[in-house]
A and B are shown apart, each in its own frame.
Chain A
Amino acid sequence: MQDLLSVENLKIHFPVHGGVFKRQIGAVRAVDDVSLTIAPGETLGLVGESGCGKSTLGKAIVRLYKPNGGRISFQGEDITHATQSKIRPLRREMQMIFQDPSESLNARHSVRSILEEPFLIHGIGTKDERKKWVAELLDRVGLPSSSADKYSFEFSGGQRQRIGIARAIALKPKLIVCDEPVSALDVSVQSQVLNLMLELQQEMGLAYLFIAHDLAVVKHISDRVAVMYLGKIVELADADSLYRNPRHAYTKALLSAIPVADPAAKKERILLEGDVPSPINPPRGSAFGHRMKHPLYEQTVDKDLPLTEIAPGHFVAADPCCLTAEDYALMS
């Protein structure tokens, strides 16, 4: 099947200014050489350390940022450098749901006008039709139809996130980049929203890039999962395979840190020592190896650590610091 989305060697850098003249003195390498694909109707989960570049990658895919390198294709079309006028029709097909709903919902607008906006921008429907669609959307995300005439500040954080989802699905897109769509929701509403997202996926053949920190949620909704560390994907595999048999040391640490909903449970956590590396001056070799002060770090300096298939469909960075000796031997 043809990929719906394909990202190759994507780079997103933000300039860092400093000194007396506020000249550019460096760059935040937020996304550094990332490649991935998403098939129609597929969910790719994306997890990783806070600040590793997940949101930036998501925003770059829906072209809210201009790439500094690499290629993004959507439905076979290269959109890396598409101009604003070419991007506009794409917005119908690609939507984004944000982490902090207050960032994306205008507090001065009623829910009705927030939900009507996508239709108005694309000039779809009559006034009555739009009214009907707004009611349907609210119903679809489990909000009473009386919500339409309220303002977003009148809702709780969780209710606002449902409004965000309603707006994202309004135009029946093909891909939704979901940046922590359920982090603000309590688990009972979260399960409703996840069920809703699964249903919508089946009904509309939607694909998701699903960014989240709750690893149980990511596992539940994803077909495949990518793990990011400091701007790079370090492991990518089938969800079951990744959780059952993680290969990369960071993935292992991540899985071990999942809090367990049982106060009586005793658990072994892999503590991450060392400082979280900064994307401003990233280490020249393996970022995780550098943090762990790994004896093999020197071997990785200025080397490519490409994602390599270690088992069918299971890719991991060929990084001697982060793999067991057996796994690393499998790669060479």
Chain B
Amino acid sequence: MSEILLEVKKLITAFDTDNGLLRAVDQVSFDVAKGKTLGIVGESGCGKSVTAMSIVKLLPQPAGRILEGEILFKGKDLVSTSPEDMRKIRGNEIGVIFQEPMTALNPCHRIGKQLSECFLLHKGMNKKEAWEASIEMLKLVRIPAPEQRIGDYPHQLSGGMRQRIVIALALACRPDLIIADEPTTALDVTVQAQILDLIKEQQQKLGTSMILITHDLGVIAETCDEVVVMYGGRVVERAPVLDIFHNPRHAYTKGLLASMPHMDTPRKTMLPVIPGMVASLQNFVHGCRFCQRMKREGSVLRERPIYKEISPLHWVEACPLCVEGL
């Protein structure tokens, strides 16, 4: 077994809303080994980003808070870490790439200023060195004409360029852990391949670990060692990447894999979908949230299925209705 860098244990994160407390993340557990990449997939709104934001303590305030659980990073519990210490950890030991680049970039500052900040703050460089290091980062993420672009404001860049700026920001301080929330969705596939190679290179060189949140199952297949599948705020399946694709066990994972369009799917035909829609968090049930979607009734909605290791390293939270042989 390789060394564990991050361990999330029974994390519960909730939001205060007009309709009461919403559990967006409900007892989520996983760990990330040093140098490895863990993928998180799951339906829109299932809590992937909230899980990521919980780890770095950037939950929307004041509504979001961690109710229970532990987040052990290098053995230290981040849940109880002070905001000042968290600020030092973010950007230095943990690099974060956010889902919507515009929310991560300050629209009023030139990107050069935003990039230099990391080098000034964490790496003790002077202004000139930081500026040059920033140009170097832009080159690394394949931004053409970096010397000119460094003076641009975020709105002057294309969507993919902005996303690469955020990636550059996250990589700049050579963190131990990269949390990447949809890092390449705004990129074309050739640039995406280059950026993923770049991240992999840094991982190999520095032993960096990564949590990669993406709905692009192709990217998951090509990048991750292990995959966590979330549904309705919970981890419903977790396995090494080959098992997820070749031997999915939970009904949701199977549905997810089936709904992907393939190159040989006949054009303009209806794609398979998972019936129903995800129940609102307000209609919280203790039992299985996927059964709730399937409009099943009875004890499945009252009792939460057990989270079990059904074969080595392959975990599923499901009852027999969903997974044969359990």
Asked if B187 and A213 sit within 8 Å, CB to CB, the answer is: yes
The listed residue (B159, B218, B245, B265) touching A258 by CB distance below 8 A is B218
What is the size category of the interface that chain B forms with chain A?
35 or more
The listed residue (A50, A192, A277) touching B273 by CB distance below 8 A is A192
Asked if A263 and B221 sit within 8 Å, CB to CB, the answer is: yes
Asked if A156 and B102 sit within 8 Å, CB to CB, the answer is: no
Question: Nearest Cβ in chain B — how far from A234, in angstroms?
Answer: 13
Interface stretch (choices B5-13, B38-46, B73-81, B127-135): B38-46
Asked if B222 and A260 sit within 8 Å, CB to CB, the answer is: yes
Give the residues from 1 to 47 in chain A that come closer than 8 angstroms, CB to CB, to chain B: 14, 16, 18, 47
Asked if B273 and A195 sit within 8 Å, CB to CB, the answer is: yes
Question: Nearest Cβ in chain A — how far from B98, in angstroms?
Answer: 10
Question: Is B14 in the interface zone, CB < 8 Å from A?
Answer: no
Asked if B256 and A188 sit within 8 Å, CB to CB, the answer is: yes
Which of A99, A101, A219 has the most chain B CB atoms closer than 10 A to its own CB? A99
The listed residue (B158, B186, B219, B273) touching A183 by CB distance below 8 A is B186
Asked if B255 and A243 sit within 8 Å, CB to CB, the answer is: no
The listed residue (B99, B217, B246) touching A157 by CB distance below 8 A is B99
Question: Nearest Cβ in chain B — how far from A33, in angstroms?
Answer: 19
Asked if B44 and A100 sit within 8 Å, CB to CB, the answer is: no
Assembled-state Cα–Cα distance A120/B72 (Å): 51
Asked if B161 and A259 sit within 8 Å, CB to CB, the answer is: no
User: Which residues from A are CB-within-8-Å of B191?
Assistant: 49-50, 276
Assembled-state Cα–Cα distance A264/B241 (Å): 10
User: Which residues from B are CB-within-8-Å of A189?
Assistant: 43-44
User: Which residues from B are CB-within-8-Å of A245?
Assistant: none
Asked if B280 and A191 sit within 8 Å, CB to CB, the answer is: no
Asked if A186 and B43 sit within 8 Å, CB to CB, the answer is: yes
Asked if B221 and A219 sit within 8 Å, CB to CB, the answer is: no
Contact (A188, B187) CB under 8 Å given A263-B245, A278-B144: no
Give the residues from 102 to 149 in chain A that come closer than 8 angstroms, CB to CB, to chain B: 102-103, 142, 144, 146
Q: Mark A179-197, 1 if CB is under 8 A from B, else 0.
A: 0100111111111101100
Asked if A156 and B188 sit within 8 Å, CB to CB, the answer is: no
Question: Nearest Cβ in chain B — how far from A151, in angstroms?
Answer: 10
User: Which residues from B are CB-within-8-Å of A55?
Assistant: 158-159
Question: Is B192 in the interface zone, CB < 8 Å from A?
Answer: yes
Question: Is B108 in the interface zone, CB < 8 Å from A?
Answer: no
Question: Is B156 in the interface zone, CB < 8 Å from A?
Answer: yes
Asked if B268 and A186 sit within 8 Å, CB to CB, the answer is: no
Assembled-state Cα–Cα distance A332/B10 (Å): 67
Question: Is A60 in the interface zone, CB < 8 Å from B?
Answer: no
Question: Is A304 in the interface zone, CB < 8 Å from B?
Answer: no
Asked if A146 and B218 sit within 8 Å, CB to CB, the answer is: no
The listed residue (A153, A157, A198, A243) touching B60 by CB distance below 8 A is A153
Q: Mark B205-243, 1 if CB is under 8 A from A, else 0.
A: 000000000011111111000000000000000000110
User: Which residues from B are CB-within-8-Å of A156?
Assistant: 44-46, 49
Question: Is B83 in the interface zone, CB < 8 Å from A?
Answer: no
User: Which residues from B are CB-within-8-Å of A276?
Assistant: 142-144, 191
Question: Is B295 in the interface zone, CB < 8 Å from A?
Answer: no
Which of B44, B151, B241 has the most chain A CB atoms closer than 10 A to its own CB? B44
Contact (A254, B190) CB under 8 Å given A184-B99, A263-B221: yes
User: Which residues from A are CB-within-8-Å of B190?
Assistant: 49, 253-254, 257, 272
Assembled-state Cα–Cα distance A127/B130 (Å): 56
Question: Nearest Cβ in chain B — how far from A174, in angstroms?
Answer: 19
Question: Is B101 in the interface zone, CB < 8 Å from A?
Answer: yes
Assembled-state Cα–Cα distance A185/B241 (Å): 21
User: Which residues from A are CB-within-8-Å of B186?
Assistant: 50, 99-100, 180, 183, 213
Question: Is A294 in the interface zone, CB < 8 Å from B?
Answer: no
Give the residues from 139 to 185 in chain B that come closer than 8 angstroms, CB to CB, to chain A: 142-145, 148, 151, 156-161, 164, 182, 185
Question: Is A158 in the interface zone, CB < 8 Å from B?
Answer: yes
Asked if B101 and A185 sit within 8 Å, CB to CB, the answer is: no
Asked if A100 and B260 sit within 8 Å, CB to CB, the answer is: no
> What are 10 pairs between A and B in contact, CB < 8 Å?
A50-B186, A100-B101, A102-B102, A103-B102, A156-B46, A158-B44, A213-B187, A223-B268, A272-B194, A275-B142
Q: 4 closest A-B pairs (Cβ-Cβ)?
A: A158-B44, A50-B160, A259-B218, A156-B45
Question: Besides A216-B262, A257-B192, 6 other CB < 8 A contacts?
Answer: A195-B273, A213-B189, A219-B267, A259-B189, A263-B242, A280-B148
Contact residues of A with B, CB < 8 Å?
14, 16, 18, 47-51, 55, 99-103, 142, 144, 146, 153-159, 180, 183-192, 194-195, 198, 213-217, 219-223, 239-240, 243, 253-254, 257-265, 269, 272, 275-278, 280-281
